[in-house]
Amino acid sequence: MQNETLESNRVITTLTEKSLLDEMVNDFIKTVIIENIVPPYIEWARVGKNQIHSRTAENYIHLLRRHFLECFTGWTISAITTRELQVHFNRLAQTHSNSVIIKVHFLVNRMFRRAQNKWGLGNPLDTDDFKVPVSLKKDMKAEPYNNDEMFKILLGVNAHPTLKPIVNLLAATGCRTQEILNLRWQHIDFINGSVKIERAMTIDVEFDDLGNTIRKKTVDGRTKRKSSERTLYVDEYTLDLIREWQKHAIIHTKTKFGKYDYVFGNTRSDHYTYCGFRSVLNRHFDIKYGKGHGLAALHRIRHTVATKAAEEGASIIELMQLLGDNQERSVLRYTGRSTTIAIKNRDRISKSMMAVRNYKCRSEA
């Protein structure tokens, strides 16, 4: 028993004093991040707690190497103290967003916790002396398009037979572009005027044994989260655009029309990739409006739809159903940044306070 304890202490001492941080990071990437990647076709019900998409893994690996390992390359594990980490994260907060800081902290803390459980090493983040700093950089949030911009977008694609139905469907539903591009004909119900969101175009990343990206490919994958699977209803105008698209597509594109075939194909393939569609849309707007138009940021259409719905009185629950979000904080941004809602609230409060003042005047009379 004593010999086992001595051997254990020797291993811990060797790891702490001689092992480079690089070794611990690469071990964490290989045995934790890469081993927890789940194929994109696996259903949500079969996804484990720690499993992640390969794009998430790629993001994690980049964050861990770029915003942690590069700053401590060549250091021994014992040299990474709480003070050194506090200085590092404070410096990170000067130039990077809260999202980056939180994710890097999550990864580094998990890595040290694993080393703590596996080898008995101390975790320099697990102390009251360390505080996760708040970013000093102003987050660049996606703003909704104003009415003029949205008009230009819809007008700009009006004469384009492929872009018109896709962009108008985005504007009618607030869906993510990846969700619309992955629609199959079985998901379109022309009788009831509904669109069913079940899957999404996504990027699958392949890695080598060291966690380096080998290749990326577009695949049919899960939606962003389980709550993103939903049924939405669209107006007759949008349904007519899809009907017109059918007539055009059967002659001019490689779109197929079986139950399980993609709704939106093009002249080269029976479906678009996300990057391919973005490129086509950008080139089209470049020609129509010139460089620097700023109108192809497709996620802003989603923000626009959500903001418009909120301004029309949609509740948080209704916005969550529309967008496929499962957290209130995800949709509150669409209400909190709306001038129209702020003005309506002003008028409501003013009206109620006026009633109170009139009541007081009547009481005094």
Element (H, E) at 305: helix 299-311
Portions of the chain given CATH number 1.10.443.10? 147-331
Structure confidence at residue 10 (pLDDT) = 46
C-beta atoms surrounding 330 within 10 Å = 17
Q: How far apart are CA 270 and CA 266, in angstroms?
A: 6
Residue 204 banded pLDDT, cuts 50, 70, 90: very high
Question: What value does the mean pLDDT take over residues 167-195?
Answer: 95
Residue 325 banded pLDDT, cuts 50, 70, 90: confident
Token digits of residue 248: 């055009």
Mean pLDDT check: name the lowest of 32-41, 95-104, 294-303: 294-303
C-beta atoms surrounding 211 within 10 Å = 20
Residue pair 295/283 in contact by the 8 Å Cβ criterion = no
Report pLDDT digits (tens) over 68-84: 999 998 888 888 999 99
Q: How far apart are CA 92 and CA 301, in angstroms?
A: 31
Q: How far apart are CA 184 and CA 198, in angstroms?
A: 10
Place of tokens 């899957």: 199
For 220, residues 6+ apart whose C-beta sits below 8 A from its C-beta are 40, 41, 182, 199, 201, 202
Structure confidence at residue 74 (pLDDT) = 83
Report pLDDT digits (tens) over 119-158: 788 899 999 999 999 999 876 666 889 999 999 999 999 9
For the cut 70, the answer to whether the pLDDT of residue 13 exceeds it is no
Structure confidence at residue 143 (pLDDT) = 84
Per-residue CA distances from 222 to 183, 259, 272 (Å): 12, 19, 17
Residue pair 85/130 in contact by the 8 Å Cβ criterion = yes
Helices 316-323 and 328-336 pack at an angle, to 10 degrees, of 110
Could you give the percent of the chain with pLDDT greater than 70?
Answer: 90
Residue pair 30/138 in contact by the 8 Å Cβ criterion = no
In the beta sheet, which residues pair with residue 216?
205
For 353, residues 6+ apart whose C-beta sits below 8 A from its C-beta are none
Instruction: Tell me how far the alpha carbon of residue 284 is from its chain's centroid.
Output: 26
pTM of the entire predicted model: 0.81
Structure confidence at residue 337 (pLDDT) = 64
Q: What is the DSSP-derived secondary structure letter of residue 139? A: P
Question: What value does the mean pLDDT take over residues 179-206?
Answer: 94
Structure confidence at residue 363 (pLDDT) = 61
Report pLDDT digits (tens) over 279-298: 999 999 999 999 888 888 88
Q: How far apart are CA 247 and CA 16, in angstroms?
A: 68
Structure confidence at residue 132 (pLDDT) = 95
In the beta sheet, which residues pair with residue 37?
52
Place of tokens 């940021």: 297
Report pLDDT digits (tens) over 15-71: 555 567 888 899 999 999 999 999 888 887 788 888 999 999 999 999 999 999 999
Q: What is the mean pLDDT of the chain?
A: 87
For the cut 50, the answer to whether the pLDDT of residue 214 exceeds it is yes
Write the secondary structure of 168-231 as one string of H (helix), E (strand) and C (coil): HHHHHHCCCHHHHHCCEHHHEECCCCEEEECEEEEEEEEECCCCCEEEEEEEEEECCCHHHCEE
Token digits of residue 69: 């390992």
For the cut 70, the answer to whether the pLDDT of residue 9 exceeds it is no
**Homologous superfamily in CATH for domain 147-331:** Intergrase catalytic core (1.10.443.10)
Q: How far apart are CA 271 and CA 261, in angstroms?
A: 9
- Single-letter amino acid code for the residue at 145: Y
Mean pLDDT check: name the lowest of 41-50, 300-309, 340-349: 340-349
